Chains A and B, each alone.
Chain A
Amino acid sequence: MKLIAGYPDSLTDKPFHYCPGCTHGIIHRLVAEVIDELEIKEETIGIAPVGCSVLAYEYFDFDMQEAAHGRAPAIATGIKRVHPDKVVFTYQGDGDLASIGTAEIVHAANRGEKITTIFVNNAIYGMTGGQMAPTSLLEQKTTTSPFGRDKNKEGYPIKMSEMLTELDGSSYIARVSVHDPKHIRQAKRAIKKAFNTQINGEGFAMVEVLSTCPTNWGLNPLAAIEWLKENMISTYPLGDLKSSGEVD
């Protein structure tokens, strides 16, 4: 009998602390499945961010470092330079990667660091209680944009993936979503490609994953999935934004 699905080896048995309907858990699982399938669990070092996934190091069952807010790509750089034969990835939220850590991600990508970044974009600061993120949508109400994000005051939703495709050091950049099974499968394919890009020694790889935050969006889990589908994808189009085409 062939086992076609099971609990990933790369996850510990610690229950996730994420809110009901939060898609951080799905994304953790996809990363763990990919690491299992590539059989790199013993070669992998992950870096957890500051944000709701700060405790990712308790869920992933391989070596992990916990970063200061936004600095994961710099830490990944340090690890990868010491262990170029190992697989190094960062897992970061949008406040972490697209606000306080903008410089670190841009320069890691520009140096073509052979690392993989999983960028979880939920258009809000989850952990600190629903403040506006640089990725928040126009008109989106948050605790620090209570009347809706105003482009004249707060600027525009930042498109990190599109920005990073412009850099010569980036090899693979994709944006995916996890709002339904079809998209979850696509997300997993992209995550696998991003790890393979690193394993093949090509350059920087990032997968931006559109994710929900029912708690701070003020929606129930189903409504949150619907909101992501209806509102986020038009601002953040899905697909491979940059790909050498060599890995799949």
Chain B
Amino acid sequence: MGDKVLMKGNEAIAEAAIKAGCRYFFGYPITPQSELPAYLARKFPEVGGVFLQAESEVAAINMVYGAAGAGARVLTSSSSPGVSLKAEGISYMAGAELPAVIINIMRGGPGLGSIQPSQSDYFQATKGMAHGDFRLCVLAPSSVQEAVDLTMEAFEIADRYRNPVMIVGDGMIGQMMEPVEFKKEVDPEKLPQKEWATDGAKGREKNVITSLFLDPADLEKHNWKLKGKYDRMEENEVRYETYNLDDVDTVIVAYGTTARIAISAIELAAEEGIKVGLIRPISLYPFPYDIIKKTAADVKNFLAVEMSTGQMVEDVRLAVEGQKPVYFYGRPGGMVPSPEEIVEKVKKIGGGSR
């Protein structure tokens, strides 16, 4: 601990889960996240963990449901098409208030799409994962170190709210190698007991894990209780980073690896005397509306940059509330925007002053 090691994103996330005290993994193979399960399959035996390759993502997420309901810290990972299959189980987990961490190393879609990096599952992750009135906490790292830190934190957030937490990365985060440091190590034996878990009703009343509330008055109450948790998340779990926001004309809003490309674009623009800043949402839900809204007073316009045809941009518009124009630049389908393209777009929207 404390030492920096060079690791691939997918493997670093897996190691972060171990360091967070997670000892259970259930998943189904899919590119581009394969190194993550492979790492755990190798490493879990050393720490007494259970790695199980399920027959499908549908089964995998339900194994996660069972393990979470039994009181364990549990992880699953997948990529876009697999997450679609997990959606059913994620809805049930939100309904039954089960904590778990779900990794989505996003690839191009829709359908089978491609295996190249993408950010096209933003809507799915933040708004429309599956049926029912629920939210996931969604975290989007932009470096391998941040992927490690957020993965470890995700387990804490999941337990704190009894709700699934999703880490969304794109194929680049999963594949790139960077030096990382694991800042702490959690002993799973020392985690607080979950008094609601089903682990055998010895000396206590029975526990039930369910998302069924047949009486509409009960379900309404349950829905409001869940809403209360989401409100608390909105109060306490908003995460973002700003870069170069003083005295700029255009603010780029971008998350994940796209934000790194945006920083290159900002530097490139600066060389031409064009003043551009960045707001990087780290939590996609809860979304950092306030900082964007506040910034709107001081800038000419916003540019959302995404590896999609435009999803997060809708939240940027909601945040700006019509105060300033919000523009979009995106490359979908597994194509990655270049800094030059972004600078071109900044010039086109006329935000930059020379």
Contacts and interface: CB of A to CB of B under 8 A. Distances in A.
A142 B138 CA distance: 45
Nearest to B88: A68
B62 A104 contact: yes
Contact of B74 (A65, A78, A107): A78
A60 B198 CA distance: 13
Interface string B7-49: 0000000000000000010100000000000000000000000
Interface residues of A, number: 35
Interface string A57-70: 10011111111100
Nearest to A64: B208
Interface string B200-211: 111100111111
Contact of B66 (A43, A57, A76): A76
A76 B59 CA distance: 11
B89 interface: yes
B200 A81 contact: no
What is the predominant secondary structure among interface residues of chain A facing chain B?
helix
A103 B212 contact: no
Contacts of A104: 55, 58-59, 62
Interface string B83-100: 000001100100010000
A145 to B, nearest CB: 27
A44 interface: yes
Contacts, number: 129
B198 A64 contact: yes
B89 A68 contact: yes
Given A74-B54, A79-B70, A81-B63, A66 B199 contact: no
Nearest to B211: A66
Contact of B59 (A44, A55, A81, A107): A107
A106 B59 CA distance: 11
Interface in B202-255: 202-203, 206-212, 214
Interface residues of B, number: 40
Nearest to B67: A78
B212 A74 contact: no
B141 interface: no
B353 interface: no
B202 A42 contact: yes
B120 to A, nearest CB: 26
Contact of A75 (B62, B201, B208): B62
A194 B68 CA distance: 26
A221 to B, nearest CB: 25
B63 A77 contact: yes
Contacts of A62: 200-201, 206
B200 A74 contact: no
Interface in A34-56: 41-45, 47-48, 54-55
A63 B89 contact: no
Contacts of A83: 70, 199-200
A17 B34 CA distance: 47
In this complex, the member of A42, A43, A79 whose beta carbon has the largest number of chain B beta carbons within 10 angstroms is A79
A55 to B, nearest CB: 8
B94 to A, nearest CB: 12
B65 interface: yes
Contacts of A3: none
A55 B213 CA distance: 10
A86 interface: yes
Contacts of B261: none
Contact of A81 (B50, B201, B207): B50
Contacts of A66: 96, 208-212
Contacts of A67: 62, 65
B338 interface: no
B56 interface: yes
Contact of A41 (B65, B72, B201, B207): B201
Contact of A74 (B63, B70, B202, B210): B63
B70 to A, nearest CB: 4
Nearest to B26: A78
B71 interface: yes
B109 interface: no
The 9 A-B residue pairs with the shortest CB-CB distance in the complex, in nearest-first order: A78-B66, A74-B62, A66-B210, A75-B66, A63-B198, A78-B67, A78-B63, A107-B55, A71-B62
Given A47-B66, A55-B214, A71-B62, 9 more contacts: A62-B200, A65-B69, A66-B209, A77-B59, A78-B63, A78-B70, A79-B67, A82-B72, A82-B199
22 contacts: A41-B201, A43-B200, A55-B212, A57-B208, A61-B206, A62-B200, A63-B198, A63-B206, A63-B208, A64-B206, A75-B63, A77-B66, A78-B62, A78-B64, A81-B24, A81-B63, A82-B24, A82-B67, A86-B199, A103-B56, A107-B55, A107-B59
Interface of B: 24, 26, 50, 52, 54-56, 58-60, 62-72, 74, 88-89, 92, 96, 198-203, 206-212, 214
Interface of A: 41-45, 47-48, 54-55, 57, 60-68, 71, 74-83, 86, 103-104, 106-107
